[in-house]
């Protein structure tokens, strides 16, 4: 039986980063992953350019049943720390939008950087390798049966990620292990995911597929409310684009979304003014503010004649149009699910983990890091920042 100080299960963002730091701190580390290829989610992230962090990442950008849990790790390993590492490895990057940092070239550069950090720490990597069983060792550590033979370690880090995109290696192994060892699990749900609608409800909008525009989208009330100003994309089955991916993390079954299709405009006022001052047709007036196809679809849906000149339009019709376009209320019937979700919401309940070290309060020597934990970032590099920060909190405590 081979013996290590630390076994990390899951060679994704959090597992690679944790293994590298622990190895460089002098620990004998084994990193195990059941997938053929290392860090597939990093490879496909950010459209192949990896939005590896967000300059402004802070606790307010994360969802959790225990919102304060992420504070300590994020404060002790910030986006600036990760940027410094990226710069040390000579990786060129750029800011795209709202603090989101992407590689200029390719996400592969981040993977190569993490592998180089592991190499510098003398980390042993077994991949593909499956863990068949985990047992308590007589000395308080862990014994693992794997497809490459049995191993023993004083400490075990679970970095198996979330449930999204099963075809590239996502599994519920970490959640099952946590449950077996008595940990509570916050119900896992697909997040950062397109939302879908009943076919009949969506029929009037399906023809607008491909159309994109900036909106304000909101859902929920009080502490669980979400609100984002981002682009919306209409699809054949429903809604997508950054605005919807963001709000999907806040949305629960049966809840409605409110969408303002004309952010920062008082549409009722604008239409009143146009009625007083313009001789153009209503459809042309609307096309100044919205994509033409969208304006046309709304006029048809509300059975309002868009060919009418502005002065002849009924006040009631203008009022209805303004209300519908700025307070569009609709209830999704579901989401595109794990196949399309970027992340998992929920996971190992943080109330049974140390926020300083990510160690289990139930089983000393056992740690959970990254997306398997009930900490979910917004869209925009926050999820990787959580992977780095939770991995660093764990590895630096060992």
Footprint of ligand FDA on this chain (CB under 6 A)? 9-15, 32-35, 39, 41, 44-46, 50-51, 130-131, 159-161, 164-165, 169, 171, 173, 342-343, 370-372, 381-384, 387
Q: Which residue is nearest to ligand FDA (CB)?
A: 12
Q: Tell me how far apart the alpha carbons of residues 66 and 119 are, in angstroms, rounded to a whole number.
A: 35
Shortest spacing between CB 46 and ligand FDA, in angstroms: 3
Shortest spacing between CB 168 and ligand FDA, in angstroms: 7
Q: Tell me how far apart the alpha carbons of residues 141 and 364 are, in angstroms, rounded to a whole number.
A: 9
Shortest spacing between CB 135 and ligand FDA, in angstroms: 16
Backbone angles phi, psi at 378, to 5 degrees: -65, 170
Q: Tell me how far apart the alpha carbons of residues 198 and 219 are, in angstroms, rounded to a whole number.
A: 19
Q: Which residues of 231-267 are buried (b: 16+ CB within 10 A; e: fewer)?
A: ebbbbebbbbbbbbbbbbbbbeeeeebebbbbeeeeb
Shortest spacing between CB 349 and ligand FDA, in angstroms: 16
Q: Which of 341, 307, 301, 306 lies closest to 324 in space, CA to CA?
A: 301
Q: Which residues of 202-211 are buried (b: 16+ CB within 10 A; e: fewer)?
A: beebeebeeb
Based on CB atoms, which residue is closest to ligand FDA, 163 or 257? 163
Shortest spacing between CB 192 and ligand FDA, in angstroms: 7
DSSP symbol at 353: B
Shortest spacing between CB 155 and ligand FDA, in angstroms: 17
Based on CB atoms, which residue is closest to ligand FDA, 131 or 304? 131
């Amino acid at each position: 039986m081979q013996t290590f100080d630390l076994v990390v299960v899951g060679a994704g963002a959090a597992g690679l980063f944790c293994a590298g730091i622990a190895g460089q701190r002098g620990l004998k580390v084994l990193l195990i992953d059941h997938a053929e290829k290392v860090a597939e989610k990093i490879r496909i992230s950010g459209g192949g350019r990896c939005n590896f962090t967000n300059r402004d990442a802070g606790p307010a950008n994360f969802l959790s049943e225990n919102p304060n849990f992420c504070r300590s790790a994020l404060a002790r390993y910030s986006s600036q720390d990760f940027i410094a590492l990226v710069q040390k490895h000579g990786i060129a990057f750029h800011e795209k939008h709202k603090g989101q940092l992407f590689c200029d070239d390719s996400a592969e550069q981040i993977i190569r950087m993490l592998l180089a950090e592991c190499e510098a720490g003398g980390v042993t990597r077994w991949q593909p390798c499956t863990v068949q069983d985990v047992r308590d060792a007589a000395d308080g550590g862990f014994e693992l049966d794997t497809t490459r033979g049995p191993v023993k370690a004083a400490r075990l880090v679970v970095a198996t990620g979330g449930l999204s995109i099963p075809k590239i290696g996502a599994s519920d192994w970490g959640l099952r292990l946590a449950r077996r060892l008595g940990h509570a699990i916050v119900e896992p749900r697909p997040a950062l995911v397109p939302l879908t609608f009943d076919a009949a409800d969506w029929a009037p909008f399906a023809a607008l597929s491909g159309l994109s525009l900036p909106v304000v989208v909101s859902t929920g009330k009080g502490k669980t409310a979400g609100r984002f100003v981002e682009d919306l994309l209409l699809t054949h089955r429903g809604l997508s684009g950054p605005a919807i991916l963001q709000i999907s993390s806040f949305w629960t079954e049966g809840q409605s979304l409110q969408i303002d299709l004309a952010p920062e405009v008082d549409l009722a006022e604008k239409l009143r003014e146009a009625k007083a001052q313009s001789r153009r047709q209503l459809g042309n007036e609307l096309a100044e503010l919205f994509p033409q196809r969208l304006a046309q679809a709304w006029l048809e849906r509300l059975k309002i004649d868009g060919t009418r000149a502005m002065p002849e339009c009924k006040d009631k019709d203008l009022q209805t149009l303004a209300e519908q376009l700025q307070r569009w209320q609709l209830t999704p019937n579901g989401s595109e699910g794990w196949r399309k979700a970027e992340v998992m919401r929920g996971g190992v309940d943080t109330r049974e983990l140390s926020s300083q070290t990510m160690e289990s309060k139930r089983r000393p020597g056992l740690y959970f890091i990254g997306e398997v934990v009930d900490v979910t970032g917004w869209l925009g590099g926050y999820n990787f920042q959580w992977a780095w920060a939770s991995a660093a909190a764990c590895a630096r405590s060992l």
